[in-house]
Homo-oligomer: A and B are copies of this chain.
Amino acid sequence: MQSAENKLNKNSLLLALRRYSSAVNNMEQTVLLPSLLRDVPSDDVWDSEVAESCEDLYGNYLMLKTIRNMVESGLVPLDENKIKESPVLHQTMEPLLDTNPESLFCFHLRGLFTVMNTLTKRSQSVTGKYMEIIGVSN
């Protein structure tokens, strides 16, 4: 018998959200001493804006859990502070208001799907790095 998840297409947003939630839950269960992630730099190439907001793997760990809580609540954050914190996004918002709604729908749907996949890999990477630190092979 196929599980419900297998029935969902790999391009499904719902599946991407579930996979992310599951990767963060796994990270949380594995990382029993999150403080070991402090001052451990991230291997991945992050741009300067990302580097400022999540300096080490501990910052990554906290950010990934915050986003997981938002994903699981299903609620859209009403305050724009997170968006305003990013100059690129703040500049981006205004011209989008006049865009064809069909294109805008595809843009945001695809954007959300892509960012969920990126963050899922990031959670798996933090989990792997923690196991390396405590000397457990993957």
Contact = CB atoms under 8 A, between A and B. Distances in A.
A16 B12 CA distance: 18
Q: Name, among A86, A95, A111, A116, the residue most crowded by chain B CB atoms within 10 Å (CB to CB).
A: A111
A20 to B, nearest CB: 10
13 contacts: A11-B76, A14-B74, A16-B76, A49-B98, A76-B110, A83-B103, A83-B106, A83-B107, A86-B107, A89-B104, A93-B107, A105-B116, A108-B115
Interface residues of A, number: 53
Quickly give the copy total for this chain.
Answer: 2
Interface string A23-59: 0000000000000000000000001011001100000
A111 to B, nearest CB: 4
A103 B89 contact: yes
A6 to B, nearest CB: 15
A16 to B, nearest CB: 8
A99 interface: yes
Interface string A67-93: 100100011111010110110110011
